[in-house]
Amino acid sequence: MRSADASLRPTRAEVLLDAIGHNLRVVRAAAKGCKVLAVVKADAYGHGVVPVAQRLQAEGVDGFGVALAEEGIELREAGIDRAILVLNGISGGAHRDIIAAGLTPVLYELSEASAFDAVSAGRPIDVHLKVDTGMGRLGVPLGELDEFLRELRRFPSIRIVGLMTHLSTADTDPDYVAEQIAGFAHAQGLVRRFGHEPAVLHAANSAACFRHPETHFDWVRAGIALYGYPGSSAIDAPLRPAMRWRTEVLRVRTLEAGDSVGYGRSFRATSTTRLATIPVGYGDGLLRSASNRGHVLVRGARCPIVGNIAMDLTTVDVSGVPGVAIGDEALLLGEQDGAVLDARDLAKAAGTIPYEVLTNVSRRVPRVYLNG
């Protein structure tokens, strides 16, 4: 696909870099003196990893978290020189590349320890050991940690410089957080008993950063908060959404009572209805499940999406907004004339979470980076 070009169509995602800088300061204040690792996987949650990471680095962030080796290598090639932690921990054939790029692997599999040891050329390989205290996906299960550490002695190059876990309910269930943190304390004791001295401990995601100071340890790993959302509806933090997703009205027409619109005729007008068509659809990442449920801002009014969202087009009821015309700005995310639609609104309409709304904005939508 030819790369997205903001000069060719009115649709674009404006990424507000000042908002990202502001959000980092909010996270830092909540993290109360511990370091902040910015999670920028999945193209910085859809915002564009290189400009976002460059801005965060300029703002003095302490390090970055990516899911995949190639995401970390892209950051190094863009001049990012802070610590980069590769969170997924399974490196395929990329062990040598990870070392060469100075990325820090997360470790929880002995086969990975063996593969790194094999390419170490006698130099120590610094890793963060991940323990599974209850997320149930990645990490050494607590019950297997003793055996894991015993076996790890076979790979003398591996140096555990960090110990981490991941919380599954920081946004919803404080009791389970407490259980996970108790498990993490147990893991710390065991790791030390085997002679390792991890200098950094970390467990907190964005929600834990705001809600659970007892999980802060040495680093917080903040993702969604940097993009403007606290990670839980229960958290009130002065964050600013960093993506403004805009397009323009392509066509305006009138439906009479009984007329239908779009594939499947899922909307039928019950009275005369003014309809604006906008050139954004699920091919741009607008979740189809927001059909007949989501909203778009036009002239500062929240206008309901009516009919099924199609690949390239969406139809919006603008009956309540006088004078809507071709070329008017239509906003899927952001602020317009004092009205706001954010990823929480769209997530609610689509039956998902803001993370998916943001990462789903497709490559076809040009990202335009704005300061101020």
Ligand X SMILES: Cc1ncc(COP(=O)(O)O)c(C=O)c1O
205 belongs to the binding site for ligand X (CB under 6 A): yes
User: 207 or 303: whose CB is closer to ligand X?
Assistant: 207
Dist CA 343 CA 242 (whole Å) = 10
Our CA dihedral for 57, 58, 62, 68, rounded to 10 degrees, sits at -10
Q: What length does the chain have?
A: 372
User: 28 or 166: whose CB is closer to ligand X?
Assistant: 166
24 belongs to the binding site for ligand X (CB under 6 A): no
130: annotated active-site residue:
no
231 belongs to the binding site for ligand X (CB under 6 A): yes
127 belongs to the binding site for ligand X (CB under 6 A): no
β 267-268/260-261 pair status: antiparallel
Q: Which of residues 309-328 bind ligand X (CB under 6 A)?
A: none
222 belongs to the binding site for ligand X (CB under 6 A): yes
β 243-248/329-336 pair status: antiparallel
Please give the structure tokens belonging to residue 59. Answer: 């703002």
Helix (H) or strand (E) holding 40: none
User: 134 or 231: whose CB is closer to ligand X?
Assistant: 231
User: 57 or 165: whose CB is closer to ligand X?
Assistant: 165
User: 282 or 355: whose CB is closer to ligand X?
Assistant: 355
Q: Which amino acid is at 298?
A: V
β 251-255/314-317 pair status: unpaired
For the bound state, the minimum distance from the C-beta of residue 227 to ligand X, rounded and expressed in Å, comes to 8
Question: By Cβ distance, which residue is nearest to ligand X?
Answer: 223
46 belongs to the binding site for ligand X (CB under 6 A): no
47 belongs to the binding site for ligand X (CB under 6 A): no
Which region among 189-197, 221-229, 280-288, 326-334 touches ligand X (by CB under 6 A)?
Answer: 221-229
Q: Which residues contact 54 (CB under 8 A, 6 or more apart)?
A: 78, 79, 80
Please give the structure tokens belonging to residue 249. Answer: 């009205």
User: 68 or 119: whose CB is closer to ligand X?
Assistant: 68
Which one, of 274, 243, 283, 252, lies nearest residue 9 by Cα?
A: 283
Segments in the chain forming alpha helices (H): 17-31, 41-45, 49-58, 69-77, 95-100, 110-118, 145-152, 174-193, 206-211, 343-350, 354-360
Give the number of residues in contact with ligand X, rule: CB under 6 A: 12
For the bound state, the minimum distance from the C-beta of residue 272 to ligand X, rounded and expressed in Å, comes to 45
Q: Which of 41, 130, 229, 355 is catalytic?
A: 41
**Burial letters for 47-60: b for 16+ Cβ neighbours within 10 Å, e otherwise?**
bbbbbbbbbbbebe
133 belongs to the binding site for ligand X (CB under 6 A): no
x/- track of binding to ligand X for residues 251-290 (CB under 6 A): ----------------------------------------
For the bound state, the minimum distance from the C-beta of residue 278 to ligand X, rounded and expressed in Å, comes to 29
CB 307 within 8 A of CB 266: yes
Please give the structure tokens belonging to residue 144. Answer: 């297997």
241 belongs to the binding site for ligand X (CB under 6 A): no
Q: How many CA atoms lie within 13 A of 217 on its CB side?
A: 23
41: annotated active-site residue:
yes
For the bound state, the minimum distance from the C-beta of residue 189 to ligand X, rounded and expressed in Å, comes to 22
232 belongs to the binding site for ligand X (CB under 6 A): no
Residues that bind ligand X (CB under 6 A): 39, 65, 87, 166, 205-206, 221-225, 231
Any idea which residues carry the catalytic annotation? 41, 263
